Chains A and B, each alone.
Chain A
């Protein structure tokens, strides 16, 4: 009997202001493939659905800072069971086939978060290219958040990924106190989850050769490094045409 394919839950943080420009193209490309794979997707917004896209209103704000409330909802609401979870922005491109292949090589028992590395020599959770974790890691964070509260809010934090880094830091401290430090959450940076730091990179420089093994990409960074990027074209469709056909 063949092994059952792992189920992935995709959580996309979206906003009404970029609904036409980002969320709809995302829905027509990446999410279309997610549906074909039979995986689950959730569009987490600060607004009620305005068309056929099944946006779930998870908070009362919908500005940039609301990403902190949106990522909080990922760990507080009930979702369908899944083996893997990936938290994305509305400008995260996911190559579903490569993601499935990548996941098939990973352990389901590690406490691990997979994401891009934004700063050299700096370890943290960076979300532009998605934040991937197995169900064991997801459930541990979820349990911690439910028991201890989220404790991150828009007044002190405006980045969802840094908020999650801080939560994982608190969780690791708690595990250390409980003498369970071998179980702590660690971070891995697959090179093919593409996201870059705009402050330290040179614009229009072809820094890397993006190949067919792309797992995810932070779309707004692609124009700086991908020579085939056409600004006038829908970037989701460009990436789809280049890598998923």
Chain B
């Protein structure tokens, strides 16, 4: 049975928004071999002219068979080839950031006191 509130809760009307762009917020490729694999994309609608970050609530998930996409979508095949071509450079970049271990230095020479 409805009970009348003394102070009604008022939810302000939200201004209408137009989100004309797509932000690729997630791209996952899982390809264990040359015949099996999947890819998933999270596409988030957003407005690049606004200061607001893409809102995950406005996302759509696409789940696809990876090799099927590569075979049937020439743009996807070309994009994946670009990714493969970039792997050595990405690997080098990653390795440059790996910290290297060195032994603790031997007792350093005493500086002359002044």
Contact = CB atoms under 8 A, between A and B. Distances in A.
A184 B100 CA distance: 9
A172 to B, nearest CB: 6
Interface in B84-114: 93, 96-108, 110-111, 113-114
Interface residues of A, number: 29
Interface string B39-83: 000000000000000000000000000000000000000000000
A106 B105 contact: yes
A35 B18 CA distance: 61
Contacts of A113: 99
Interface string A165-203: 110111011001000000011111110000000000000
Interface of A: 1-3, 105-107, 110, 112-114, 117, 123-125, 165-166, 168-170, 172-173, 176, 184-190
Contact of B98 (A110, A112, A123): A123
B95 to A, nearest CB: 10
B101 A1 contact: no
27 contacts: A1-B113, A3-B111, A105-B107, A106-B108, A107-B105, A123-B101, A125-B99, A166-B97, A168-B99, A169-B96, A169-B98, A169-B99, A172-B96, A172-B97, A172-B99, A173-B93, A173-B96, A173-B97, A184-B100, A186-B102, A187-B101, A187-B102, A188-B101, A188-B103, A188-B104, A188-B105, A189-B104
